[in-house]
Amino acid sequence: MADPDETVDVRSAFLAVAGTAREIVALTVVALHWKEPSALPEMTVGALVAHLARAVTNVERSLEAAEPAGEEPISGATYFAPVSSDLASGINVRVRATSAEEALVGHRAVVGQMDRALERLRARLEGEPEGRLVKARDEVLRLDDYLRTRIIELAVHTDDLCVSIGRETPPLPGVAVAIEALVEVAILRHGELAVLRALARRERDPDQVLRVI
């Protein structure tokens, strides 16, 4: 069970990095580049923003649903492990299709969706109990483990968006949480020794095991 202080830190980190992401998403330059290619293959800037916004809106959707019961929660690393850089993977194909569709409403509408969800989550997350379970992608996780995966998405895709519009990436709150969570994914996939070598002995890391997405 997570330490209560750690729970507060994860939720605060999520809200902080979501706020930073929102500041970048709302920039006029993002609207001007909406239909142009982003730094991510096969995604426009608009689709990237729509996907980034879902890192916030999906948290609210998961909390609006009934809390799952009778299922053992998986770790955040287990949840995130199927995500890869393979453009043809089922997850990535679905992400691109959903993001492109959701971008059709335009910049102002996507920012509005993100704003409303973020405002409600600022009030709601504080009151959610430790150990709260949510369902995401048909998997059951503890809320705070799910938030760690959302912090990854927010941090990584805010950087992607900044690169896409030629803007310097700002300091990202919660980036330490994202790094820790990504290392956990690497350990799950490759084991502790491989990750140790990747961190300390580059010549023994032919598979680049820290490159998890």
The CATH code of the domain that includes 145 is 1.20.120.450
- Residue type at 71? E
Number of domains in the chain: 1
CB 111 within 8 A of CB 44: no
**Considering the domain boundaries, does residue 212 fall inside one?**
no
Query: How far apart are the C-alpha atoms of 81 and 32, rounded to whole Å?
Result: 34
Distance CA 120, CA 113 (A): 11
Which residues are bridge partners to 139 per DSSP? Answer: 136
Q: What percent of the chain has pLDDT over 90?
A: 86
188 within a domain of the structure (yes/no): no
Task: Decide if 9 is inside a domain.
Answer: yes
- Please check whether residue 179 lies inside any domain of the structure: no
115 has pLDDT over 80: yes
Asked if residue 149 is part of any domain, the answer here is yes
The domain containing residue 56 runs over which residues?
4-172
With both helix axes pointing from N to C terminus, report the angle between 107-124 and 45-64 in degrees, rounded to the nearest 10. 30
125-168: pLDDT as tens digits: 999 999 999 999 889 999 999 999 999 999 999 999 999 999 99
Q: How does DSSP assign 33-93, residue by residue?
A: TTTSB-SSTT-BHHHHHHHHHHHHHHHHHHHHSPPP-SSPPBPHHHHHTT--S-TTSHHHH
Specify if 177 maps to a domain: no
Neighbours of 62 (CB within 10 A): 21
- Asked whether the predicted pLDDT for residue 4 surpasses 60, the reply is no
pLDDT-based confidence at residue 88 (cuts at 50, 70, 90): confident
Whether 180 maps to a domain, the answer reads no
Please check whether residue 203 lies inside any domain of the structure. Answer: no
